[in-house]
Structures are given as C-alpha cells and as structure tokens.
C-alpha cells in the first residue's frame, strides 16, 4: 500500500509541472495574438494614411510637400465628400463657436456658366450658422459691378432663397490702417463689415487669370474689399482708381497677402474660419463669365483656422493630382505661390500644416 501511495505521489509531482508549462504556453499564444492584430491594424492605418482618397482618385500623402507631423503646425482637415453633409462635417471638425452675427463670404459668380459654389451645396451649413451671405461689388465691370445688378445675380443664382444677402460695400467703405507690410499701409473694405462679429470664408478653389489661383486669401482680400480697395491691391498699393491691371505682378500678389492680414486682424483671427471646396477645378475664376471647362477630377473639401495653411494644402493637392497640368501651369504662369510666400513672411499664417482626414 505504501508503495502504491509513493508511486502516485511521484506521478503527480512529475505530471503537474508539465501541465502547468503547457497551460502557460497556451496563455502566451493567446496574449500574443492581439499584439499581432494591433500590428496589422497599425500597418493598415499607415497604408491608408500614405494613400489619400480624393473625390476623383487617390494620391500619395508624401506628395503633399508642406504636410508635417509637427504639433506646432496648424491643422487642415480634409474630406473627399463634396456634399452638403460633408461640408457641415468639415465645419464641425473646426470646433468653432461663433458668438455673434455670422457673415458667410462667398462668390456669387459672374454668370450661369460660372463655377460658383451652388446654393444647394452650402445651404445646410449657412442655415445652421444662421448666416448672412456677404459679398462686395466687382472692380472690372460685369454683372456684379453695381448694387442693382449684383443683387439681381445673387437672386438668379439662388443665394437669396437660402439666406439673407448683404452687399457689404453698398453703403460705402471704411479704411483699415495696416503696418508691417511692403506694399500697403491701409485697405478699404465694405462698411457693413462692422455688422458682423464672425466671418466664415467659404471659397471655391480654382485657377485665376491674374493671381494664378483663387482660394481663401483672395476671397478675403479681393472679396471683402470695396472697389477702390480692390484697385489698391491690384496696383500694388499705388492707386485707388482706374484699371485693375498691374505692371508689377509680385507687387500685386504681395498686396493681396497684406490685405488679407489687415482684414483678418481687423475682424479678429479667432473670429474667422476658412473652408475651401475643390470641385469644378477650372483654370479660370468664378469671376469669368465663360470659364474654361475643368480638365481634372474633383478633389474634396478642406478646412482650417489658418488661411495660409489652407491655401497651401489646396495647392499641394493640386500638384499631387495626376491630371492637374493645366491648373499647375496657370498657377506658375502668374507666380501664384508668391502670395503664400509673402503671407508667411508677414506672419499671416504657416505654409506647413498637419493634415487630418475626416470621413
């Protein structure tokens, strides 16, 4: 009997550790599996991030030359969803909390052939803000050069049906002093600017025959200036009457950047945000009654609290697109990037940006 008990004890001593080792091995395999899954998820995340889906195709994130991972850089949000819901989603990503009356600065477009942002696209966002669509008269003639004709085109294009419409320089202009620039010591803007606490600069990104491209900065500087203010910018700060044509292209581009800084400083940087829609990417501006048909795909919607970062990100997306040769040639033909170079130099914003994708 003693021999049997001893045998059983020896058996238990030998077998129990082996079973324990087997159990530990199984446990290790179980805990290792989530780690493998996490690695796979991270790799998928990196792969997705390295290839950015736009509305028309995919581009490499590495081709966005001013994108950075620096936490000090302003954030630009991007979505390929060019829709009313997508526009609201990008707006919400900015976490903006306006505390007063909101002007939504858009271009109402020169004709029915123009590529202006359609009311059905912007209606939901404008109404969520209880915003007023704001514009100024043009300095080149056309069908927006008088109050009567501009109100008429705003109605014809459907803007007055979705929100109040304000021609900010209809009752005159105000002068805003400016220091720290090379071209301007003042700007002239529509006098109604003082009626608004907050401004959403809602732009259609596209090419432009004179500035190379039109985005947030042009929508601020030219878009919010009175007629004399527009001429002052186009002339590089030399005059407030006459033609908008300028013999000094860089002076015009630098004045455009300086006017943007003067206006944003007057309204208050914290009171302005910027959203740009990259669709119908013609080489011509919405101020052209018969713009060239776009020959590249739509890209998406971008938003930021920094107008320089936003315009630079839009430029980067254009240069990264495989079918953008016409638009890049238009930008380069007018040295359009110089506006951004000067804007960064005078402290308006940063050309480096972090990119956050919103889907």
- Residue 36 above 90 pLDDT? no
pLDDT for the residue numbered 109: 93
pLDDT for the residue numbered 273: 98
Report pTM: 0.86
Q: What is the DSSP letter of 61?
A: G
- CA–CA gap between residue 284 and residue 290 (Å, rounded): 9
For the residues 312-341, what does the mean pLDDT come to?
A: 98
Q: What is the 3-state secondary structure (H, E, C) of 248-303?
A: CHHHHHHHHHHHHHHHHHHHCHHHEEEEEEECCCCCCCCCCCCCCCCCCCCCEEEE
pLDDT for the residue numbered 34: 32
pLDDT for the residue numbered 359: 85
For the residues 297-309, what does the mean pLDDT come to?
A: 98
User: Is residue 353 a contact partner of residue 77, using CB atoms and an 8 Å limit?
Assistant: no
User: Is residue 207 a contact partner of residue 291, using CB atoms and an 8 Å limit?
Assistant: no
What is the chain's mean pLDDT, rounded? 88
């Amino acid at each position: 009997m003693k021999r049997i008990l001893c045998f059983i004890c020896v058996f238990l001593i030998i077998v129990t550790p082996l079973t324990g080792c087997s159990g530990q091995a199984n446990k290790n395999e179980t805990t290792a599996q989530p780690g493998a899954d996490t690695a796979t998820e991270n790799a998928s995340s990196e792969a997705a991030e390295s290839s950015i889906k736009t509305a028309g195709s995919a581009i490499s994130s590495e081709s966005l030359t001013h994108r950075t991972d620096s936490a000090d850089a302003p954030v630009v949000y991007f979505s390929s969803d060019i829709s009313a819901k997508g526009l609201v989603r990008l707006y919400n990503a900015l976490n903006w909390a306006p505390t007063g009356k909101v002007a939504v600065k858009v271009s109402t477009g020169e004709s029915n052939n123009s590529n202006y942002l359609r009311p059905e696209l912007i209606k939901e966002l404008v109404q969520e803000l209880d915003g007023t669509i704001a514009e100024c008269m043009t300095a080149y003639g056309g069908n927006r050069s008088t109050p009567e004709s501009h109100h008429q085109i705003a109605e014809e294009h459907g803007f007055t049906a979705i929100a109040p419409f304000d021609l900010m320089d209809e009752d005159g202009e105000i002068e805003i002093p400016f220091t720290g620039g090379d071209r301007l010591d003042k700007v002239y803007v529509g006098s109604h600017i003082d009626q608004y606490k907050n401004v959403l600069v809602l732009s259609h990104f596209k090419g432009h025959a004179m500035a190379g491209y039109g985005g947030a900065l042009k929508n601020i500087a030219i878009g919010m200036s009175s007629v004399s203010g527009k001429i002052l910018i186009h002339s590089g700060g030399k005059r407030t009457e006459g033609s908008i044509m300028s013999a000094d292209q860089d002076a015009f581009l630098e004045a455009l950047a300086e006017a943007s800084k003067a206006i944003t400083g007057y309204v208050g940087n914290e009171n302005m945000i910027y959203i740009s829609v990259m669709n119908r990417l013609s080489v011509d501006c919405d101020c052209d009654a018969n713009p060239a048909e776009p020959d590249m795909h739509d890209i998406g919607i971008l938003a930021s609290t920094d107008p320089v970062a936003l315009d630079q990100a839009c430029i980067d997306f254009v240069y990264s697109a495989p079918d953008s040769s016409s638009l890049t040639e238009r930008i380069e033909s007018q040295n359009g990037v110089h506006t951004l170079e000067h804007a960064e130099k005078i402290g308006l914003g940063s050309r480096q940006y972090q990119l956050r994708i919103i889907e």
